[in-house]
Amino acid sequence: MMVLTTLLWSTAGVVTRQIEHAQGLEVTFWRSAFTALALLVILPLWRGRGVWERIAWGQPTLWLSGLCWAVMFTAFMVALSLTGVARVLVTMAFGPFLTALLSRLVTGRRLPRRTWAAIAVAGIGMAWMFAGQLGEAGDAAAWLGSIVALGVPLASAVNWTVSQQGQSHGTPVDLVPAVLLGAVLSALAVAPWAWPQAASARDLGWLAALGVGQLAIPSVLAVLCARVLPAAEVSLLGLLEIVFGIGLVWAIAGEAPRPEVLQGGALVIGALLANELLGWWGQRRAARGLSSVSG
């Protein structure tokens, strides 16, 4: 499910490049607005008519998570308007490091050695990818885009840690509505700067696709994954968005990455596969051990 989530997330760059007239904060506004509209339909269909009464509106955790989603939604699209897709995605790769450290400090949950090793290898791959992008940063806007993009992994680290902390304390808050809250906050935050509207009917179609298929659905899936996966592992799997995103924008929009991006991406995928396979193998061994003891 988390791999599917990252694949859906990764379509943002290539879809954004199809938009002709809407630019900057207008794109951010419409994407967040369509996300909110989609969730206003999805949540009652999924959870029933009483979903709004069951939401823990008074819980600070819900609002903190919603604020994190708002930062991620906004910073990502603003960064894409300033610099290339590959550079934005590579900058987001700091997420697993920040999440692992914050999760360790806040929840005290120890991470398996395999996960730390995977983070280290993936980090090397991301650093190599970033080095390959240095030569493309010819103006201040490109670096500003990278700085803005840093808001995504920072907010993501806080968000997954908040979810994990709720699980570990036995008082989990349903954070699926936080995605809706984040979309509303994001749309409201950029609305004053999103006018006059320049989006054509074709642009609105692409923006609706972003809001529903690239943001609303995968973000809800990510929250569900965070209930059962450690925060660091959710963030680590999220790196697949970078690899998928660079591949899609290269194949469809023609933004060819440098060789270092491809080489670093191979390291990322290898680290993810090794982490997941080792985890699956360890679970199988533990299950066999329990079966032999009970037998």
For range 245-262, the mean pLDDT = 77
Confidence (pLDDT) at 67: 94
For range 230-249, the mean pLDDT = 77
Per the CB < 8 A criterion, the answer to whether 218 and 5 are in contact is yes
Residue 182 has pLDDT above 90, yes or no: yes
Confidence (pLDDT) at 74: 93
For range 196-212, the mean pLDDT = 90
For range 259-286, the mean pLDDT = 77
Asked if the peptide bond before residue 196 counts as cis, ω within 30 degrees of 0, the response is: yes
Confidence (pLDDT) at 196: 77
Q: What is the mean pLDDT of the chain?
A: 81
CA distance 76 to 228: 26
Confidence (pLDDT) at 168: 58
Confidence (pLDDT) at 173: 63
Residue 166 has pLDDT above 70, yes or no: no
Q: Work out the end-to-end distance of the chain between its first and last CA atoms, rounded to an integer number of angstroms.
A: 34
Confidence (pLDDT) at 136: 55
Residue 18 has pLDDT above 80, yes or no: yes
Task: With CA atoms as reference, report the closest residue to 163 among 110, 113, 237, 102.
Answer: 102
For range 258-276, the mean pLDDT = 77
Residues 28-76 have pLDDT tens digits of: 999 999 999 999 998 898 888 888 888 888 888 889 989 999 999 999 8
Sequence spans of domains, the chain: 2-47+56-279
Residue 147 has pLDDT above 90, yes or no: no
Confidence (pLDDT) at 54: 85
Confidence (pLDDT) at 292: 62
Confidence (pLDDT) at 167: 57
Distance of alpha carbon 11 from the chain centroid: 12
pTM: 0.76
Task: Collect all residues with Cβ–Cβ distance below 8 Å to 205 and sequence separation of at least 6.
Answer: none
Lowest mean pLDDT among 44-48, 50-54, 206-210, 271-275: 271-275
Maximum CA extent, the chain: 71
